[in-house]
Each structure stands twice: as structure tokens, then as C-alpha cells.
Structure 1
């Protein structure tokens, strides 16, 4: 069983973003049901963010409410929170004042109902050396207010600098069948060398690899996906070919596309030259969480088929717009 900050976690974690960061978030009752289902099925590695919503309503507020109602679950959950941004903006602030404000606000919102196991800055602040930012976070670890330090969307060089300043407990990056950069840019290899687990966010390609969206018009009118380059109408029909390849394997194995996509991510966990990888799919219903916590076991032939397809397939569009992409792998 994988471990983070010395605590056992399930092989599949749970991303909380969709519970608060969308135009029409689910009700508290539905969110609580989803969270309890995830925990009951072993997905105890929860990932939220101060940025997942507004300063007035984000993951921290929901978590406070949840652990107020279910205090017995607090010690079962390993909680990681992203912050380190200017409040209300997607602008990194890795300064001492920025880090302190963010962590203090997270602790204030949790109000002692749950410890903060991991904290990470959502993006590297290009104006502050990463080892300095990590040093500011480390003060909270030394004071016993924080369990460990994680990093988000960082380069291999930044991982080494940060780890030299203070041991890093996890690295969160996007990793899926259509976001494979860490296999080639040194991030996965560096984490394996330093024995740092990778937390793989968006392992289902923001829902693309579940089969939910067969054509561009299937995307909900109020969905944030309309702002991502890979979901634009001029590239959608080309990108959908990846889903078709996943669906072919899913049919042969009696599984869903989501279970194949998650199985592919998990097949890399602990493989030769690879670190432990824990995918954190997000879901707002118990049904989807049950699906996500039963990933398919892929055979060598399945992996070979997918790898051969990926060699010939080129994803159209970046993961983020140019302004957001500038902060990736910093």
C-alpha cells in the first residue's frame, strides 16, 4: 500500500475540485455522499485547494463542514491542499508573506477539525526561487502545523532544488493517456530516483477519457472545458480518436473507458524507472466513484496496443492557454 507522510493511502485517490469549483456545484448532501463513498472504498488521499472556488467558498469550507458532521473520518483522510496564489487570482505568490497568508488561511478554515497533511503551491512563482518558497513552508512543518510539503506542476530541476531545501513528500502533475509529458521530461525519472510519489491529477483527461463527450456539442454550456484548447470544436474530432482507441480495449475487457484510462496510469506506478503514482480522479456521484475505484488491470498486450497508438497520435491543442502553459513545469 502506498504511503504519504508516513500514512497509508489507497492506490486511487480523490480529487475534490469539482465539488466547489464549477458554476453549479453539487449540493452539500451530494458532496458529502461522494466524499463518504470515496473514503469507504479506500480513496483516502484527498486533494483540494484554496483556489478551488472563491475565497468565500472553496474546498476548505466544504471540508470544515464535512469533518464537523463526520469527525471520526478526520484521521482516516490524508489531505493535500493547493494554495500559494494571490487571493481570487491565478497568480502565484511564493513570497514569505504569500505562503504564510495561504497556509494560515487554510488552517483557519479547517479550524482544527482536520490536520493539514500536505500543502503545495499551485504553481511555482517565477519571481521567487523555489528553494526559498519551500523554506517558508518548511517552517510550518517544523512547527508541527503541517505534515509535509508537496509540489505542483514543476520541472525536474525544480524538484531537485526543492528537495535539497527540504524533503518533498509528493509531486502533483497532470498525467493521463493524453498528458504524458512526465515520461519524457525527467519528472517521473527524478521522482523515482528521489523516492517521491507522483499524484496524477486529471487522469481521465477532464472527463474526455470517460466517453462522456462523443462530440463537441455534448459539452455542457456552462462547462469550463470550453476554455481549454483541447476541447475546441476545430480539434475535438481529431482528439476523439484517442477515446475510440481506449473504447476498443474497454470493449475487449468488459470495462469502461475510465477504468482503462486509470488502469493505464496505474500500470506505470512502480514500473521500471518509475515512481509510485496515485491518480486522483474527481467525481461528484457515488456511482462514478465506484467506477473509478475499480480500475482495469491491463495486460502487456493492452499496454503495447495503447503505446503503439500514442506513438502515432498527436494531441491537438495545449493543456492550457499560453498564459497558463507558461507556468507548467517551471
Structure 2
């Protein structure tokens, strides 16, 4: 079983990223049921963010309420939180570090220790060494924080980071339509230094589940409506890939989402890759159950999927606008 900060990541090897921002948050009790179901399914790596929601109610507030109600679950969970943003732009200065970290700890209110903290993006105006040194000396070494992670970084930044402090994990988007880490050196660098990868959006932000058939299926206010791959024109081209994958899933007797997650997981520790932990988003017990089912791939199925990927190249970037400029920091 994979490990993070000295703790085993449950029997499935999957995480849970059901703590993201959504335009219409569901009732707390429904979220609590999904979180309970995640633990029961062996999904004990929970990934949230100070940025997922509003200043008055984000995933940290939800976590605080959950662990107040279920204090016995606190030690079962490996909690990773992203932060470090000021008006949705990274602030890696010592002052920015303190503001974000102190706010996260204040909201958690001692109900759950913060196992991993990661800057959502690297601040291009502040040396990564400055940011990490502040986190390490003022929070890790004082026992306020378990460990430090990185998010959406380049291989070069990882090399710089490990000279400052121990890096617990690198979070980056990995899916059938986001294979960048295997070409840009991130997977290779993480493998070399024994750093696990937390693979977010393994279902292609929901697209690879097959449930989104047209751009209008995305809820109003959802940020995916502004992303390049979901725009009219590019959306239709990317949908062709989904249709082909649905055929393989049907033959295999699994859902497209399970196939997509299994595809990401099968790269873990294969051909010199690092440990890769998929962290699919989920808000319901049913989705947790679906996502946590372990689906492995045969050599033939892997070859078929590779051929599909060659025939239907992905259209559009992962992010647009300012978001694209902060990738691979």
C-alpha cells in the first residue's frame, strides 16, 4: 500500500478529492455521509483547499465540522490542504505563508492536524526557497504542520525544493487527457527522489465519466465552462475520445470513470514511475463506491487505449488565461 507522511493510504490506494469548490454546495449532512463512505472504502487521503469555497465557508470549515462530529476519524485521515493564494494569485512571501497557514490552522481549530500543506501555485515573484523555508522553519519544525507538498510545479522546481526541505508529495493533474508529467520530467524527478504524486482530476474533470455530453451539461457558475477543453468546438472533438473509451469500459464491465481511474493508477511504480495516488472528486456515497472499485488493465486493454489516444488527440489546454501562466511553476 502507498504511504504518505508515514501513514498507509487505505486498501484501495485511492484518495478522495470531494472537498473542492462547487457552485452549489450540497447540504453538510450529505457531505458527511460521503466522507464516511470514503473512509469505509479505504479512501483516507483527503485533499481540500483554503480556496475551495468562500472565506466564510470552504472545505476547511466542512472538515472542522466533520471532525467535531466524528473525532474518532481524525487520526484515520491523511489531510492535505492547498492554500497560499491572495485574491486567487499566489503570495509566497513569508507574510503570505503565515497568513494562509495561520488561517487554515485557525479554521481546523485543533480538531484535525494538518498533515500536508501545499501552495496551490508557485509565486513567480518570490523564490520557492523563501516560501519553503518559512513553512519548514515556522510550521514543520514547530510541530504545527506535518509536512510540505508541492502543486503544479516543474521538475526544476522540485529539484530546488528538495534542497530546502523534505517534500511529502507533488500534486498535479493526471488523466487520460493530461499525461504531461510523463513528458516534462515531473514523474521522472519524483521517482528519482521517492516523492509520491497525488493525481488530481483523474476523470478529466468529469468529462471522462461519460456523463457530460455537451457544454450545457456543466452547471452554471462552474469554472469548467471557462476552460479551453470544454469550449464549443474543442468539446465536440474531445467527446470523440470519451465515446471510444466508453466502448472499452462496456466490454470490460466497468464504468468509464472506473476505467479512467484505473488507467492513472496502473502507471504507479511502472517503468520507473513514482507512486501515483489518484484523487478523484466525489460528493455522494454512490460516487465514492464507484470510484473506489479497483479496476486493473490487461496488456491488450492498455494497447487499445494507447491507440485511441493516438487517434483522438486532446484539443485545448488544461487551463486558460492567468491560470495557464501559473502552470509548471
Q: Taking structure 2 as the reference length, what is the TM-score of the superposition?
A: 0.97
Is residue 91 from structure 1 mapped to residue 89 from structure 2 by the alignment? yes
Q: Are 1:15 and 2:14 an aligned pair?
A: no
Looking at structure 2, the residues matched to 157 and 224 of structure 1 have their Cα atoms a distance apart, in angstroms, of 29
What SS class does the counterpart of residue 206 from structure 1 fall into? coil
CA RMSD of aligned residues (A): 1.0
1:91-130 map, 5 Å: 91-130=89-128
CA distance in 2 between partners of 1:53 and 1:263 (Å)? 29
Q: Secondary structure at the match of 2:171?
A: strand
Report the alpha carbon displacement of residue 322 of structure 1 after superposing the two structures with TM.
2.8
> Secondary structure of 1:172's partner?
strand
Shift of 1:279: 0.6
Trace 1:319-330 onto structure 2 (pairs within 5 A). Answer: 319-330=318-329
- C-alpha distance in 2 between matches for 1:303 and 1:128: 42
Aligned counterpart, 1:276: 275
- Matching residue of 2:61: 61
Q: CA deviation at 1:23?
A: 2.0
Residue equivalent to 2:47? 47
Task: Please name the residue that 1:32 is paired with.
Answer: 32
Q: How does 1:1-330 map to 2 (within 5 A)?
A: 1-10=1-10, 11-18=13-20, 21-86=21-86, 89-139=87-137, 140-330=139-329
SS in 2 for 1:165: coil
Structure 1 residues 214-223 or 234-243, which shifts more?
214-223
**CA–CA distance in structure 2, aligned partners of residues 172 and 219 of structure 1:** 25
Q: Does the CA-based 8 Å contact 1:219-1:225 persist in structure 2?
A: yes
The answer as to whether partners of 1:16 and 1:59 remain within 8 angstroms in 2 is no
1:213-258 Cα deviation digits (max 9, x unpaired) = 1223322334332111111112111000111121111011100000
Alignment partners' CA distance in 2, 1:68 and 1:241: 46
Q: Structure 2: which 5+ runs fail to align? A: none
> Structure 1 35/82 Cα, relative in aligned 2: closer, same or farther at 3 Å?
same
How far did 1:184 drift?
0.1
Give deviations 1:133-180, integer Å, cap 9, x for gaps: 111111211111111000000000000100111010100000000111
Distance (Å, rounded) in 2 between the aligned partners of 1:247 and 1:312? 15
Cα distance in 1 for partners of 2:18, 2:248 equals 29
2-side partners of 1:225 and 1:135: how far apart? Answer: 34
Question: Hey, what's the Cα distance between the residues in 2 that align with 1:222 and 1:326?
Answer: 22
More deviation in 232-241 or 169-178?
A: 232-241
- Measured after TM superposition, the shift of residue 57 of structure 1 is 0.8
C-alpha distance in 2, partners of 1:14/1:277? 13
Determine if contact 1:148/1:169 at 8 Å carries over to the other structure: yes
Give the C-alpha shift of residue 293 in structure 1.
Answer: 0.2
Deviating more after overlay: 130-139 vs 215-224: 215-224
Residues 89-134 of structure 1 deviation map (CA, whole Å, 9 limit, x = unaligned): 2100000010011111111111110000000000000011112211
Q: Is the 8 A contact 2:23 2:220 kept in 1?
A: no
Report the alpha carbon displacement of residue 318 of structure 1 after superposing the two structures with TM. Answer: 1.1
Whole-Å separation in 1 of the counterparts to 2:304 and 2:317: 24
Provide the rounded CA distance (Å) in 1 between the counterparts of 2:35 and 2:101. Answer: 23
